[in-house]
Homo-oligomer: A and B are copies of this chain.
Amino acid sequence: MGLSSADEYAERLKRMKPNIYVNGRQIGRDDPLLAKSINTLRVTFDAAQDPRFKDLVVTTSPLINEPINRFTNLHYRQEDLTKKLEKVRTLCHQVGGCIQRCMATDTLNALAVVSKDIDDAKGTDYHQRFLEFAKYYQKNDLVGSASMTDVKGDRSKRPHEQADPDLYVRVVKKGKDGITVRGAKAHITMSPYVDEQLVIPTRALTKEEADWAVAFAIPADADGLKIITRIADSRPRAELKAPYNRYGVSEALLVFDDVFVPWERVFMCGECEFGGPLALTFANFHRHSYCGCKPAVSDIIMGAAAMAADYNGVGNASHIRDDITEITVIAELAYAAGIASSAQATRTSSGIYAPNALYSNCGRYITGVNVYHEFEILTAIMGGWPSTMPYEQDWFSPETRHYLEKYAMRNPKISADKQHRLFRFLSDYTTSAGAAWSLHAGVHGGGSPVMERIGIRSDYDLESKKALVKYLAGIED
C-alpha cells in the first residue's frame, strides 16, 4: 500500500550514507540538527492516519490502484487540484508554516506532463520511464526535493556563456547505462531529508545548451552528491513547550560532483527546447500550490494579529479590524485564484490536469508582494514586546519570575502564563531566523514577483485589449 508511517520515513533516512554538511561538520540524517525539519515531514505521514485529515490526505492512485498520500499524487482528476489546495492550507496550519512536501508533488506532475510532450514531439520514451518511477515513488510513499534553481553565475549571461560551464547543472558524460552530471542547485529546501532528489532545469535553453537540458531522479545519498545545509528552525524552548517550536526547515546547496544517473531515472536529456516548458510547468504547478500555502501563512498572521489585539484589549478598534481584514483579502484572493486556476485547468496530453497559469501566477504574485506588508501589520498591532521581552529562562528564575509575571499583565482576566505564551510565540514567529526565512520564502519561493509578472504577461492577450481600444476610438488598421 502506498502509505508509509512517519517512523518508516525516518528509518529510511537513518539508513542513508552520510553526505550532509552543516557549519563545518559532516552529520548523519539522525543528527538532532535535522530533527525539527524532519518533524515537519512527519506531519504529512501522520495526517494520513489522522481522522481529522485522512479524507483530505489519502486518495487512490489511478496508476497503482492503491491508496496513496496525495503528496505523491498525479492530478489525473480535475478535482485533485482543488483538493491539493485544501490539503496544503490545512497541513501548513499544523506546522505553523511551509509543509514542504508539495515541492515534490509539483515536480512530479511537471515531469509527467512534459515527459509526455517530449515523447509526442520526439518519439522518445521518457514518459513511460517516468511513470515507472512514479509508481515506485507512490508505492513507497517517498519524499522528494524540487532541485531546480541553478546557482546561475553571472546573471547577465546564458548557461553556455558562463566562465565556468558548471554554474548550471549539466551532463558531462553519456554512457550505455546512464549519464554523469555536474553542477550545483541552490536553495534546495528539504534536500537533506528527502528520499529522492528530483532534478529539473531552471530556465529556457537555446540549441547550444543541450547539455544543460537534463531532468532526473536520484537517491539523496548517491555517490558524488554533497548536501551543504543551512537550517532555519523555530527557536528552541527550554521549558515553555509549544507545537510551533517543534518544526523547522532546512535548505541546502546541493552539489553534483560527477553523479551517475542510470537511464531509467533520466526524464530529459538534451531536448533543449523543452527546458523552458519543464521549468514553466513546474512553476505553474508550484505557484498553484502557493495559492494554498500562502493563505495558510496569512491565516497564522491574521490569527496572531487578532490574538495580540485581544490580549492588548484593542480587538475592536476599527483601524485594527481593517488591517486584519486587509490580510484576509490577500489570503482569500490568493486562494480564490487557486480555485479559479483549478476550475479552468487544462487536460494535458499526459492526461494530467495543469492549472490555469494566468490565475496561478496572479495568486502567487499577490502573496509575494504582500508578505512584508502582512508582517508589518502584525508588528504594528502586537507592539514592541515580542522583540524586547526578556528571555525564557528569566520567566522561570526565582529572582525575576515575579517581576515578569507582575509586569507582563494586560487584561487581568488573562493569566500571566498565557500572556507569556502568546508573546513568546509572537517573538519566535517574528524575530527568529525562521521568521526571516518565512519573509524571504514569501518573496522568492516559487518564483519572485518579478517572475510572476513575466509569467502573467508572457501569454496574456494584450493585443486584444489594444484592439478593443482601437474599436472604441474608431481607429482602423
Contacts and interface: CB of A to CB of B under 8 A. Distances in A.
Given A302-B462, A444-B383, A473-B244, A153 B391 contact: no
A366 B241 contact: no
A432 interface: yes
Interface residues of A, number: 143
A63 interface: no
B396 A24 contact: yes
A211 B389 CA distance: 26
A370 B318 CA distance: 21
A469 B300 contact: yes
Interface in A271-289: none
Contact of A384 (B22, B187, B435): B187
Main secondary structure of the interface of A (DSSP, over half): helix
Nearest to A231: B391
Contact of A319 (B400, B443, B450, B456): B450
A406 B184 CA distance: 10
A21 B400 contact: yes
Interface in A288-320: 299-300, 302-304, 306-307, 310, 312-314, 317-319
A8 interface: no
Nearest to A319: B318
Interface in A401-442: 403-404, 406-412, 418, 421-422, 424-425, 430-433, 435-437, 439-441
A465 interface: yes
Interface in A218-234: 226, 228-230, 232
Contact of A372 (B339, B373, B432, B470): B373
Of A252, A422, A472, most B-chain CB atoms within 10 Å: A472
Contact of A453 (B153, B322, B386): B322
A359 B332 contact: yes
Contacts of A228: 390, 394, 400, 403-404
Contacts of A441: 384, 387
Contacts of A376: 372-373, 443
Given A299-B465, A332-B359, 11 more contacts: A164-B406, A186-B388, A306-B469, A310-B466, A322-B453, A336-B340, A336-B359, A387-B440, A425-B469, A425-B472, A430-B440
